[in-house]
Structure 1
Amino acid sequence: MTTLPTRLRIEKGTAYALFAYDVGQSVDLDEAERRMTTIKERSRIKHKRRAPAYFDYTPAPLRIGADTEPLAIGRFRTNPGVDLLLYDFGAVSVTYTIPLSGAFSDLLSLSQDLYDHEQLLAESRRRVEDLLAAVGEAVERPHVVDSVEDYVIYHIEASAPSLTGSDLIKDYAQAVAQVLRSESQSLAEQEIQDAIGYRLSFGPDDIAVIDWNAALLLGQDMEAVLAVLEFANVELLEMRLLDRHLDRALDEAYETLSKHRWTGLHLPGAVRTELEPIAQLQVDSAILFERVTNTLKLFGDQYLARIHRLTSQRFHLESWDASITRKLHTLESIYGKLTAQAAARRLEVLEWIIIVLIGLSIVVSLIAGPGH
């Protein structure tokens, strides 16, 4: 076990435990806001520097505050209260805040305690279920999926001795990597560089170090970075779920295509009945994909755009994006083949009907005889 730095102390800081859930197909945020009686507001990103106002959430998610008793996490405790951020594409992000102070080395024990923390997971799910019950019909096709995407952000606002971003990486790389990876053992240099390799600074006194399960922020006025990381965590959840739904749709479409390939007789309307669920999944998936990828607009703030791009690379969102796009195209191709087969079969049936009618007319004329 390695010895973490003991002389470095956190004077002021906060840990954010995030839990992302999928709760439905879509949400009418205006209706949800009307139904909520607790503290609420439409969330906007506070830019670190000036940027066009329209580069923000579209539409703005609904932030809801709820009272809760502090929860013990090792020697730390959460603040009373919890924030829930409700997105129009049917996702909720639940955030618990934990005040930080004391030795930097204490962050390692906190990170290990937060890793798959069952009480926080259960509490966050209960909060989401309560929210779903409160907003009622504002959510289309309400449900709470079993999958949850959790993430932890450690934000250090002040330390002793005072640190710059370069100081943190140069002098405390091992400690930072262990905290991000929740790993008590000393890490190899390659593992350290992988953990701290995705980082970005706006000025000399701040830095954002982004890893797969956690991020560490140093500096003041990091609310916008927190918002981008929170959204990216939700985005990852939605991409995973969407990819899973498309796998199911492709299995159903391929099964339908294989069945039609080997059987020639179908009752009228049978093909259309089989195609309807595939078409519905295709449309739902495409709409959700567009909503998720177009919710956050950051092109006017280059720093936040770079933060989102860096987080996307760390979370492999581009790979999920490419996989979903490919599966949507494949599903569209299979649906097109099934539709073409159904159209060809209808034409074939019509041809046989015409042939039968012609044959019947000839038979009738022969039976009736000349003069009739």
Structure 2
Amino acid sequence: MCCTIWVYRLYDTANAISLEKAESILAAGSSVSRLRLTRVSPKAIAFKNAPVTAQLAPQQVPIAGYAYSAEVRARIYDLGVISLIFRITLPPDTTYDHLVNLAVDIDNIPEEIFLSVLESVVAAIRPAIIGERAPIVDEDLVIYYFQQWKDWDMVPLLLAEKEPVSPETRRETLANRFSYAEDFTVMGWDKAVVYDPTGSPDIPDLLEFANAQLLELRYYDHLLDREIDKMYDAIAEAERTAVYRRLGEYRRIRRQVLELLADITSITSKIHNSLRITEDVFYARVYTTYLRLVRIQDWAASIDQRIEVIQRSYNLLTEEVVTNRSELMEAAIILIILLEFVVSLFELF
């Protein structure tokens, strides 16, 4: 075997997916399993709710002028992510030049192929989907998986680039290399080369899981951005209403903001805690390095900043509600005093 190319497309499809229901539905028509790493004990790496994997029908995939048969799997996450994995096994006589040509063209696989498979999966597990939405956010990943290594140059595969690169670029590209025994993994932004004589899928599975977390953080970052704009528009609209209605509008906006804060805090906590590596140092290094490569902390920090903006707005709205309530009470007291004064005048005359 020369090489197997694992092409991933991950889509955000829902607020959540009931894995128990999805597993039950898919088991009726295909081979189904839960994700489990094969080379470590379950205690070493703990999935909060291990995603469901289903074997699907093979697909024909055009790359660099050739049609390849791809083994297809769908992996379903309770976070609402559906990952499609196309495994393309190349012939044993595949040359290095041909592999580089594939690497250059691999990102040009028609998206319609993936979306067609995604639609069929969503249709099948729809009863398990909670808060379905159009897959407007996606992540992609390509892994070149070898069980036999021929000492080929990995840089063109990782960069999808035929042209020679500078020594600095080469060093940066190959910097994130990890090896446990005879195996090795070299990771880039959205590409990786994995050599493992045992055929274990553990490293690809870890990288895929990290992409699912990244995808969800990206989605909720965009969601918060939209919600902040809507909040500001709602506040501006409330300020244009009559004074006696404004307090009710502020209360409504404040209630919505509080619900949003609670939802986002719960969701982001679930994302961060969906995988715990407790004992395996090697896998922990691979996983945390990849998270750093895809800048997942930047997305997490962006969400935290937006939450702070929303929190400040909530506090300001609370102050405004209290101020308006105090003003109304003062006005009511003044009105009562005036009424008593008028009544006293009538009694005098």
TM-score (norm 2): 0.89
Within 5 A, what are the aligned runs for 1:56-67? 56-67=46-57
CA contact (8 A) 1:178 1:187 kept: no
| Counterpart-to-counterpart distance in 2, 1:105 and 1:309 | 33
> Corresponding residue for 2:265?
286
> Corresponding residue for 2:82?
92
Residues 366 and 316 of structure 1: CA distance in aligned 2, closer, same or farther (over 3 Å) = same
| Counterpart-to-counterpart distance in 2, 1:82 and 1:266 | 61
> Corresponding residue for 1:351?
330
Residues 50 and 270 of structure 1: CA distance in aligned 2, closer, same or farther (over 3 Å) = closer
Within 5 A, what are the aligned runs for 1:212-231? 212-221=189-198, 222-231=200-209
CA contact (8 A) 1:64 1:83 kept: yes
> Corresponding residue for 1:197?
175
- Give the CA deviation at 1:319: 1.6
- Secondary structure of the 1:45 match is coil
- Give the CA deviation at 1:306: 0.9
Within 5 A, what are the aligned runs for 1:317-336? 317-336=296-315
Q: 1:116 aligns with which of 108, 120, 128?
A: 108
| Counterpart-to-counterpart distance in 1, 2:333 and 2:145 | 77
- Secondary structure of the 2:147 match is strand
- Secondary structure of the 2:149 match is strand
| Counterpart-to-counterpart distance in 1, 2:299 and 2:250 | 32
- Give the CA deviation at 1:107: 2.0
| Counterpart-to-counterpart distance in 1, 2:233 and 2:307 | 17
- Give the CA deviation at 1:317: 1.0
CA contact (8 A) 1:45 1:56 kept: no
Q: Is 1:74 matched up with 2:53?
A: no
Q: Is 1:45 matched up with 2:36?
A: yes
CA contact (8 A) 2:141 2:191 kept: yes
Residues 69 and 346 of structure 1: CA distance in aligned 2, closer, same or farther (over 3 Å) = same
- Secondary structure of the 2:58 match is coil
Deviations 1:104-144 (A, max 9, x none): 332211112211322xx212122222222222242221012
TM-score (norm 1): 0.84
Residues 114 and 131 of structure 1: CA distance in aligned 2, closer, same or farther (over 3 Å) = same
Q: 2:215 aligns with which of 220, 237, 252?
A: 237
CA contact (8 A) 2:235 2:253 kept: no
- Give the CA deviation at 1:86: 0.9
- Secondary structure of the 1:70 match is strand
| Counterpart-to-counterpart distance in 1, 2:201 and 2:260 | 37
| Counterpart-to-counterpart distance in 1, 2:283 and 2:242 | 57
> Corresponding residue for 2:227?
249
| Counterpart-to-counterpart distance in 2, 1:50 and 1:60 | 14
Deviations 1:156-212 (A, max 9, x none): 11134xxxxxxx5xxx5xx31111111111111111122211111111x21111101
Within 5 A, what are the aligned runs for 1:139-158? 139-158=129-148
- Give the CA deviation at 1:264: 8.1
- Secondary structure of the 2:141 match is strand
Within 5 A, what are the aligned runs for 1:164-203? 168=151, 172=152, 175-203=153-181
- Give the CA deviation at 1:280: 3.9
CA RMSD of aligned residues (A): 2.4
- List runs of 5+ in structure 1 lacking aligned partners: 1-10, 161-167
Aligned residue-pair number: 344
- Which amino acid counterpart does residue 276 of structure 2 have in structure 1? K
Residues 308 and 133 of structure 1: CA distance in aligned 2, closer, same or farther (over 3 Å) = same
Q: Is 1:29 matched up with 2:19?
A: yes
- Give the CA deviation at 1:226: 0.9
Residues 105 and 336 of structure 1: CA distance in aligned 2, closer, same or farther (over 3 Å) = same
> Corresponding residue for 1:211?
188
Q: 2:253 aligns with which of 250, 255, 274?
A: 274
| Counterpart-to-counterpart distance in 2, 1:14 and 1:225 | 14
- Give the CA deviation at 1:32: 2.2
> Corresponding residue for 1:104?
96
- Secondary structure of the 2:29 match is coil
| Counterpart-to-counterpart distance in 2, 1:196 and 1:291 | 33
- Secondary structure of the 1:300 match is coil
CA contact (8 A) 1:15 1:98 kept: yes
CA contact (8 A) 2:70 2:88 kept: no
CA contact (8 A) 2:144 2:192 kept: yes
